[in-house]
Structure 1
Amino acid sequence: MKIGGKKIGLTTQVFLAMIVGAILGLLIGEPMTKLGFIGTIWLNCIKMIVVPMVIVTIITGITSQKDVKSLGRISVRIMAYYIFSTLIACAIGLTVALIIKPGTIANFTGLASKEITGSTDITVADFFTSMFSANMFKTFSEGNILQTLIISVMIGIAILRMKNEKFKTTVVNGFNALGEMVFSLIGMIMIASPIGVFFLMADSFGKYGASIFTSMATLAGTYYLACIVQIILVYGGVVWLTAGINPIKFIKDSAELWIYTISTCSSVASIPINIKVAKEKFGVPERISGFTIPLGSQMNYDGSVILYGSVIVFISQVVGVPITLGVMLKVIFLSAILSTGGGGIPGSGIVKLLVMVQAFGLPTEIVGIIAAFYRLFDMGTTTNNCLGDLAGTVFVSKLEEKTIEKNNRKMAEAN
């Protein structure tokens, strides 16, 4: 696209589409929701390619490792980061809500609740069993990303263990070629992203109107403040300490990612954008980002646990139940456990939020009201989730660089 003879980048086009779509949605209202299917078609095209993309990126990421030891090192580091950032995220959500006290000034007059469907019976055994597929083709057809990820890891490790080097090279080259094709297809889909984003935003704002800003203003304001604190202090701090990138530059350079997450509310659909940003803006090799980012889309839910903490405090303040230190610690650890796993699908976190509220004996009616406006919160949860994946990927990449340099020095000294 060109304006005044100057070419406008795709990121700028998407940002403008997001703004214009929101404005037209507010001004025109309900008629814009009739065209929301156009944005859904674009989003479906992204989701269509997610399973093959996860397969090829995980497998090529693993097979590009020098050995299983380097893969294990990357896995341990990224998992440690995800656990740390998740615990901190919930603590931040609790702390910000306790300071601002949104529940003491909340007004629910005129708000309608939404019935929440889905099972709330989640056991440890069910969670771990659900990670492993009994039929990989059924897993792929159903789009179960967590099971796809586990299958891809197993295949990648199996390829590394192949004894016949000729066969191993053939298989690795085949997946590398398939990866080129998959990302070529993603590039085609991304060309239409301004159109898709425009209609997604117009649909959301046409459906909710100005109420998307006002009805849940106290809770939403508290939640987004906590998200900003997490982004600047935790993500910004991590990349600053490990890569020398200040928080403002991190936010600026990751703009292409958070514009997409705000628009799509899907961490899975944002995987290709996240990998692209990691490579082009932060110099992360795909052998690392192709493993850590899909993994993070299933295991790193910082934005979600910030919401859990904020909502628990919010509802407690509404009903006048005090929050003790013991309750805070329980919220942090239960949030971390409950958030792990999931499909990265827009709105899926509302059932887990209901489980959290029930676990602490708080009234669930307010969760129903939140569900009616979940899109407003989902923009923040997805954005934080994906920025957390990106920051962790940059962190692990820099640690790997230092480890490789250290090993090379040792080898040089030994020779």
Structure 2
Amino acid sequence: MEKVKKILVNTTVMTLVAMVLGAIFGIIFGETMGEFKFIGNIWLDLIKMIIIPLVFCLMITAIADQEDAVSLGRISIRTLVFYVITTLFATIIGISAAMILKPGLGISLEGLTAVDVSKPAELTAQTFITSLFSNNIFGTFSSGNVIQTLVIAILLGVAVLKMKNKEHKEFVLKGFRSINDVIFLYINMVIKLAPVGVFFLLADTFGLYGFSIFTSVAGFIGTFWVGIILLMLLVYGSSLWMFARMNVFTFLKKSMPVWMFTLASCSSSASVPVVIKSAKEDFNVPDGIAKFGLTLGSQINSGGSAILYPAVLIFISQLYGIELEFSTFISMAIVATLLCTTSGGVPGGGIVMMLVIVETFGMPVEVVGIIAGFYRFIDMGTTTSNVLGDLVGTICVSKWEERTIANNKAKASNLAS
């Protein structure tokens, strides 16, 4: 009886059960389940409302807790390098999976309804760089601009790090740490409601599309998920073994609460407290590195999206019989990598960026609207792989930094003797 009680209170297990039951109820009762979607939306709103203070306070304390500007710079560069390199590998996997599995051959999308996808403002280097900076901190917070909030937090965090008066610095940090404690407690409360929210969200999705999700675009969604699995096993698995001597399956077992939450919430930012807790408790990552690497990664690391974008292009080219040259594949890899590491502040996320990349390569955009209708099944994969990529990167940087500190101490000891 005691074991049964433990299972029932285990949010991770209950969320998995809720996902299965949601799919079953959606298929059985159809669009009727859509009338209860508002319950799932309330749960998502409870998560979204805390994202801005979460990112702001976490990044400030993560930077201010570093030993000095030198160690901060070293950790920052290593984190960015890891994210960019793994994202590039992810684009290659996305291209390879789509070319080998050919999801766009021999299928018809007739009868499927396309979702309207608004075209974003023109993206240029100038507009992107300008969009990173805010002229009104409260305006940024009220508009929910996460990427600007991140930049503000980084600048203020560096300012706190450079404070000369230790008493004042500790006073400021104590305030932000206290707010962090409240945010983490709040997130823990919301996480316990995950099974309820997930049930109604999945029930609505399956009620709307029924078994059509297993036909039509099933080949594309399957190809995408094959890419996600390959990214996890090959890229993240080899990184974990290289830096931490850790088996990828051990990693997945330890991080189960993380990827169960991301499958349910489809929010990288909201998962930050969950993944920080896992990084510190399950993988012994120091607090400062965990907060910095995971908060930054939630905005700039997008391995799952890097698989999605080139796969969409190849899927469309196969649908319409468009021949692609080798140079086009090179361009796909470069453009997808750049978009994934710089599009954290673009409203609409993955769907909008799909439209951007399809238009960039001059392909028919109608298919994007159809894929958007099934996007939750894709978003579950992109968010989960993105967040697990953040965790892998943070673990690897932590081990890298650990070795650097040990080497520096050894050199200092040799010089002293």
Tell me the TM-score normalized by structure 1. 0.95
CA contact (8 A) 1:297 1:344 kept: no
Does the alignment pair 1:305 with 2:306?
Answer: yes
CA contact (8 A) 1:40 1:200 kept: yes
**1:231 aligned residue:** 232
| C-alpha distance in structure 2 between counterparts of 1:269 and 1:202, whole Å | 22
Where do 1:338-357 residues align within 5 Å?
338-343=339-344, 348-357=349-358
Q: CA deviation at 1:127?
A: 0.6
After TM superposition, the structure 1 stretch with the greater mean CA deviation from structure 2, 203-212 or 141-150, is: 203-212
Where do 1:11-410 residues align within 5 Å?
11-343=12-344, 348-410=349-411
Q: Does the residue aligned with 2:50 lie in a helix, a strand or coil?
A: helix
CA contact (8 A) 2:119 2:355 kept: no
CA contact (8 A) 2:148 2:345 kept: no
Q: Does the residue aligned with 1:340 lie in a helix, a strand or coil?
A: helix
1:267–1:213 CA distance, 2 compared to 1 (3 A)? farther
Supply the RMSD in Å over aligned alpha carbons: 1.9
Q: CA deviation at 1:329?
A: 0.5
1:104–1:48 CA distance, 2 compared to 1 (3 A)? same
Give the residue type in structure 1 aligned to 2:23: A
| C-alpha distance in structure 2 between counterparts of 1:366 and 1:407, whole Å | 54
1:5–1:270 CA distance, 2 compared to 1 (3 A)? closer
Tell me the TM-score normalized by structure 2. 0.95
Q: CA deviation at 1:58?
A: 0.8
Give the residue type in structure 2 aligned to 1:160: L
Q: CA deviation at 1:331?
A: 0.5
1:333–1:4 CA distance, 2 compared to 1 (3 A)? closer
Name structure 1 gaps, 5 residues minimum.
none
1:43–1:2 CA distance, 2 compared to 1 (3 A)? farther
| C-alpha distance in structure 2 between counterparts of 1:61 and 1:296, whole Å | 13
Give aligned-pair identity as a percent.
46
CA contact (8 A) 1:266 1:344 kept: no
Give the residue type in structure 2 aligned to 1:193: A
**Residues 58-103 of structure 1: CA distance to partner in whole angstroms, max 9, x if unpaired?**
1111111100111101100010011101111111100111111122
Give the residue type in structure 2 aligned to 1:74: I
Q: CA deviation at 1:413?
A: 3.1
Q: CA deviation at 1:126?
A: 0.7
Q: CA deviation at 1:159?
A: 0.7
Q: CA deviation at 1:404?
A: 1.7
| C-alpha distance in structure 2 between counterparts of 1:279 and 1:214, whole Å | 42
Aligned residue pairs: how many?
Answer: 415
